[in-house]
Each structure stands twice: as C-alpha cells, then as structure tokens.
Amino acid sequence: MRKNYDDVYLNYLHSLACEPYTLNMLGRAVKDVAELYHICGVEAELVGSFNVGPNEKDLLIFESSDIIPAGEPLRFSYHISEHRNILIYIYPGVRSFDRDERKELEFFAAGMVFYLELIYLENTVFNVYSRQEISGVLNSSGYLYRVAELIKRDIPLSLYSAFYFNLKDFGDINRRYGREIGDQLLKYYAKMLEGLAGRDEIIGHLGGDNFMALIKKDGRRKFIDHISDATIAMPLDETIEEFKISATIGVWDITTDVSDPGEVISRPSIALNQARNVLHQSIVSASDNLITQLSEQRSLLKVFDEALKAEEFAVYYQPKVDSRTGLLTGAEGLVRWFRKGRMISPGVFIPALEENGKSIKLDCYVLKRVCSDIMKWKSAGLDPVTVSVNFSRKDLKDRRLSERINSIIEESGIDKRLIEIELTESVDTEEHGVLTDFIKRLYDLDIMTAIDDFGSGYSSLSTLREFQLHTLKLDRSFVNTDDFSWKDEIILRDIIHMAEELSMEVLCEGVERADQLALLNSVGCYIIQGFYYDRPLPREEFEKRLRDRRYIR
C-alpha cells in the first residue's frame, strides 16, 4: 500500500515551525555533501536526504531529535542535486518562523507532494519498460540500471559474484506441456530467484530461458546450489506438479572496480558460452586465465583465413597398431598450427573455430592435405594405410557436407577405403538425428565413418543400432586400470563383442602403458592408438613407419 505522503510531509513541515522540536525526517543518511553546506549562507547541518529516482520503492522515516537542542528556533533549506536527490538542511535560527515563512513551507510541502506523485508515475513507467513481460523480473535494461545505481552509490562490486545462467532442457518442457505452461513456470522460477536475492542483490531475465543475477559473495555457494538443482511446485490440472529445473552457469567473481555495468553481463556470459559449447560443463568461472585465452582466440580468428592461405597448418599422423602382430594398420590425421615459430595448441584454436563456424574450413583443408599425402605415398611406391580425419559436429550444419567430402576424395584420385571420417557422438536429440542422417549419407557414398570417445559421457548402445559405422573408438577412460572393476570388464567385453558382431572394428586410444594394453587385450580389443606405440608424427617421420610397418615392443 502507498503511504499518505501528503500528511507525512505536512506534519514534518509543521514540526519545523512549531515547538517542541521533534524532527521526523524522510530519507536516508548521506555520506558527504560538505560542498553543499553553504547553500543557506551559513554552516548548516545536513540531517538527511531522500532519493526521488524511479528505484525508490519506499521512503524511510527516522527520528533525529538530538540534532538541534530542544527549545531553539530552527531554519531550513533544501537543494535538488543533479542526481535528483533532495537534500534537506536544518540549522539554528534567531527567531521563530513568521507567517510568510510558514506559507513558504506550505508551498515547499506542495512541491514535495508533487515529487512524490512523480515518483509513483516514474515507478510505473520503469516497471513497464524495465521488467520482462513473462517473468515480471528486471529485463536487461532494468538490470543494468540497478547495477549502475550500485556503482553510483559507491557500493563495491568486488563484494559480488555476477551470474549468467541458462535453464537446461527447458525447450523440452515447452514441447511437452505447451508454451503457456512454460511461461507460467518461468514466472514461478523467477519468483523463486527473487526469494533468494537479499538487500542490494539483483535478479534479471534476458528472455527465453536465460537469467542473470548479482549476488553477494557470502551467498554465492547457496545461490549456485539452488539454481543447479531447483524444484518448482506449480498448480497444473487441479494438482500440484513438481518440475526439476537445473541450469548451466557462467559466473564471474568480481575482484576489481567496475565502471561499466555491462561487464556484469558480458563476463559471466562468456563463461556460460564456454560451459555450454566448449567445455560441456555445468558451471564455468570467468577467470582471468579464461578471459586471456578468449582474447587470444579472438586474435587467432582474425588471422585464421590468412594462415590457411599461407599453409601454416600441418597434418601430423598418429599410428594405429594391431597389438597381436605389431603391424601398422592405420593412422589418425591431427592438425597442428605453426605461427611465428611456435605451435598453437589445438585446444585453443579448435573451440574458437567451432564456435564461429569456421571449423568446416579447417576440417576440409585437413582432408585435402591427407588425400594429397596419400597420393604422394602411392606415387613413391609406399602402401598407404587408412587415415581417419576428424570433422566437428558443428560442421554438420552444412547440409551439403557429405557431398563436399565425397568430392574432395574423388578429385584426389585415391581409393575411398583409405579415408575414414571421425565424429563425436552427440547427446542432444536434434544433433543426434542430424548425425545419424550424415553418417547414412556417407555410408551411401561408400565412405567409412568412426565414432570417437565412445563410452564417455552419455554414450548409449543405441549408437551401435542406429549408426552404420566402420569403427568404434573407445574412450581413453576405459584404460584407467586403477578404477577398473569386474563390472567394467563385463560391460567392455560385451560392447566389443556386440560391435564385432555388427562388423565394426574396435579401437582404443590413449594407451600409454603395458598394463593398459594387457587389460584391453584381455577383453578382446587389439587395435591400439597411443603413446605406448607412437606419438603423432610429422609427415616425413610417418613415411618411415609406412616403410617399416612393424612395431617391436
């Protein structure tokens, strides 16, 4: 409910003009406005202020009867600052107010009441333009306005953690229950978030399933726990339905002064993007190292096309060996970037290229280089082995990719059986369907495919049923002998058996030690890739392996 501010102000002003001198002041105490003390021509005592900006939901009332000794006449003055703070000064006078001065006070009271009405109107307008229509919490404009106010009030943002988070699989809820129910659920979720926020903490909704928050660091852990695994109870069809909602979170633990409010959105949003699209983790912090790495990635993106033309990218070949015979049976082509005398880690530039839609250029370039090398080996009288070439799942957005791959291989003149396209399985339902179609198109073009990292994350046996694969590449986690149990042995043995029954070749990568090799051999996996046999080799060194063919250990 709105207070009757008219009466409050009139009573306040009446108390200034009459005895006894009990002062009811409206507003907050302010820190330091000594430069304004001379507004009345004397050294006035600033006793309080109140802000009339649209952020004020309420004006506080406090008593300050000890400021001026009782029984002394009072004078007052006021000033409206450039930030629209009304500063009220009370100072000792030499006589009581006369009739004209009392009329001036009444005029002042009428003006103050007008300002209160203006506050109410501005708050209404602010809520219309600064709140998200669906959830009712602040939109990006309102969120940034509140952050700017904290900065203006000299509240250190280093006390806060800034969050940017995305609700996982919320699209599934919309598809199952409909958009109307989904929007209603967002309201309940936003209300839950506002309940978590304390004084001078801010919640924002960017739209869709993206939210923001500025939370004091002492409540950081509690806030993360809540949004990582929230349960929202909501009326649905005359019952109470419970929805489990988790989030992928980007967080920036602010350690420095912040002058640009936009940083509290941009920094954690960078971390969220890394969490979702690169690292595939539930929470990522926007550390200085991450920001530095991303800055390096942006620099690399600017010179990527130039580097591709200058052939700064080289293909290294890591051998695949049949552990039963020690014979070289294949290789994986791995890209390396050499620029200005140093090798840039693939872990730095590949995620950046994927995120910006440029990985397809690099992957096709690598395929062309591999095809060219194979043709050179054949011309030199060598017997080439099948080489696998990695293609990013991001490349599959190009619906003509299978035709492009086929054209590159056919134009090179090599046997298609000497190339294998290696992909990583996706857990996303839509991506999974695209991947299935892509593998089928390659199969129809007589191009072999392999699934990398099988057994990591959420790989499922449906992969064996749905994908028409030539090779199943087991994840390196399978060779962790320290955690290998009898259950793992049964599962691994059965996966290998099923794959072989489906005419798939099974290979394990990341093998470095003899005990790991023995474990894999014991369950029927014999094709090995890893440092136990060889590291990734430059083309010239790999040619020597093609001549020798056999590994003796």
Q: How many CB atoms are closer than 10 A to CB 31?
A: 8
Position 340, amino acid: K
Written as one string, the DSSP assignment of 519-541 is HHHHTT--EEESTTT---B-HHH
- What pLDDT does residue 467 have? 83
Helix, coil or strand: residue 553: coil
DSSP strand pairing (527-529 vs 313-322): antiparallel
- What pLDDT does residue 66 have? 38
Q: Give CA–CA dist 465/114, Å, rounded.
A: 74
Written as one string, the DSSP assignment of 104-171 is HHHHHHHHHHHHHHHHHHHHHHHHHHHB-TTT-SB-HHHHHHHHHHHHHTT--GGGEEEEEEEETTHH
**Residues ≥6 apart with Cβ < 8 Å to 21:** 15, 65, 68, 70, 71, 72, 74
Q: How far is CA 128 from CA 133, 138, 202, in A?
A: 8, 10, 18
- What pLDDT does residue 305 have? 94
- What pLDDT does residue 73 have? 45
Domains, the chain: 5-128 (no CATH), 140-286 (3.30.70.270), 293-548 (3.20.20.450)
- What pLDDT does residue 127 have? 66
- The per-residue b/e assignment along 50-60, b for 16 or more CB within 10 angstroms, e otherwise, is bbbebbbeebe
pLDDT in tens, the chain (553 residues): 233 434 444 444 444 434 332 222 222 222 222 322 333 233 334 333 333 333 333 222 223 333 444 444 444 445 544 444 445 444 454 445 556 655 665 565 555 555 555 655 666 666 667 888 888 889 888 899 889 989 988 899 999 999 999 998 888 888 788 888 989 999 999 999 999 998 899 999 988 889 999 999 999 999 999 999 999 998 888 788 899 999 999 999 998 888 788 888 888 888 887 777 666 788 888 876 777 777 787 888 899 999 999 999 999 999 999 999 999 999 999 999 999 888 988 888 888 888 788 999 999 999 999 999 999 999 999 999 999 999 998 898 888 999 999 999 999 999 999 999 999 875 555 577 788 899 999 999 999 999 988 865 445 666 777 788 999 998 777 776 666 778 878 888 988 998 889 999 999 999 999 999 999 999 999 999 999 999 999 999 999 999 999 887 7
Q: Give CA–CA dist 540/133, Å, rounded.
A: 63
Q: Which two tokens stand for residue 363?
A: 């992957």
- pTM, rounded to two decimals: 0.59
Q: Give CA–CA dist 267/3, Å, rounded.
A: 41
Bond prior to 20 in cis (omega within 30° of 0): yes
Q: Which two tokens stand for residue 262?
A: 């936009």
- What pLDDT does residue 227 have? 92
Q: Give CA–CA dist 206/155, Å, rounded.
A: 24
Please answer whether residues 214 and 264 qualify as being in contact, where contact means their C-beta atoms are separated by less than 8 angstroms: yes
Q: What is the DSSP letter of 195?
A: H
- Treating both helix axes as pointing N-terminal to C-terminal, what angle do 140-152 and 99-130 enclose, rounded to 10 degrees? 140
Q: Which two tokens stand for residue 537?
A: 């080799």
Q: Give CA–CA dist 161/263, Å, rounded.
A: 12
- Element at 45 (helix H, strand E): strand 45-51
- What pLDDT does residue 131 have? 84
- The per-residue b/e assignment along 235-256, b for 16 or more CB within 10 angstroms, e otherwise, is eeeeeeeebebebbbbbbebee
Q: Give CA–CA dist 203/191, Å, rounded.
A: 10
- What pLDDT does residue 15 have? 43
- What pLDDT does residue 106 have? 55
